[in-house]
Amino acid sequence: MALDLDRWHADGVFILTHYDAAMEAPASPASPAPIKNRLSIGHFLLWMTVSGLVLAAFRGLSRDMVEEGDLNAQDALYVWLQRLLLVAAAPVYGVAFSGLCLALWRLMTRRPAFPSQPGHWLLLVIAVVGLWAGIEWSIQWKNANAIVSRGLVALAGLTFLTVKAAMQIRRPRRWLLVFGLAACGCLVIAVVFLSQRADSPGTTVPLGLLGVSVVASSCMGALVCGILDLASDHKYDAFHWAGLAALAAVATHPLAAWLIWVTAGR
């Protein structure tokens, strides 16, 4: 009997000791570990597929850009350079549309790891702008009222994305300023579109210049933030840097088009 009491005493001490240790230890998280955005072969295949589709769309849309036939050397050079620019731009918009597909997939599967970094949101913004421009290009910018309506829808989407990004990205604060500026610029341009729809063009020019200037400033600020991110202690994934690279390429697209225009002597 004495041996049983001693054994129970020892077991009780053992249980109480491990109970206290378990109570003092930090509780294990109930939710699973956050999903990390790591590049995989599937991401590269998605990018290549979407880039091919974008290139095919560019080829189809560029057929109506000029009428091929008996072109002189100057016009032939211009057409060739324009097509070369479209080929170079296809992978850029391909990575943006791939980011949009990834975001929609994560939304449907309720896996909130994307978008979560500044570059992720830049991919989505570029994708929306690309869709807007592609739709207008495909119908050759016809029907001014319809252009204004579609522009308002696109601006609403851009404002939502930039506001959402500004609310989610708390640190570093420089990105909060960038997306805040972009949201303000989109709102100003939306007011211009609404004024145009209401047949009050008196305020469209100054407001339009203001909105475009604010959006351009936010784009330049994003590029500066990307440079600062290189020296930052914060860890960014490959999709963040892909978004910054896509933004830099899209920002240089008008400059490249202008150089082609000048080179061809148009």
Count of the separate structural domains present in the chain = 1
Can you tell me which residue has the tokens 């050397």?
73
Q: What percent of the chain has pLDDT over 70?
A: 74
Whether residue 6 lies inside any domain: the answer is no
pLDDT tens across 12-44, in order?
444 444 434 443 444 444 434 445 667 788 888
pTM: 0.77
Transcribe 216-242 into DSSP letters: HHHHHHHHHHHHHHHT-SS---HHHHH
| Residue 161 maps to a domain | yes
Structural domain that includes position 94: 40-61+69-263
Tell me the pLDDT tens digit for each residue of 171-206.
788 898 999 999 998 888 888 888 776 665 556 777
The C-alpha R_g of the chain, in whole angstroms, comes to 27
Structure confidence at residue 247 (pLDDT): 92
List pLDDT tens digits, range 211-245.
888 888 999 999 999 899 888 878 888 888 999 99
> Mind listing the pLDDT tens digit for each residue in 45-104?
988 999 889 888 887 776 655 555 556 666 677 777 778 888 888 899 999 999 999 888
User: How distant, in Å, are the alpha carbons of 57, 225, 251 from that of 246?
Assistant: 19, 14, 8
Comparing C-alpha atoms, which of 241, 40, 41 is closest to residue 123? 241
- Whether 25 is in a domain gets the answer no
Residue 137, amino acid:
W
Q: Residue 211: how many CB atoms within 10 A of its CB? A: 21
Does residue 150 fall inside a structural domain?
yes
Asked, for residue 235, whether it belongs to a domain, the answer is yes
DSSP for residue 202: G
Local confidence band at 141 (pLDDT 50, 70, 90 cut-offs): low
Q: Is residue 2 part of a domain?
A: no
Q: Has residue 4 been placed in a domain?
A: no
Q: Is 165 part of any domain?
A: yes
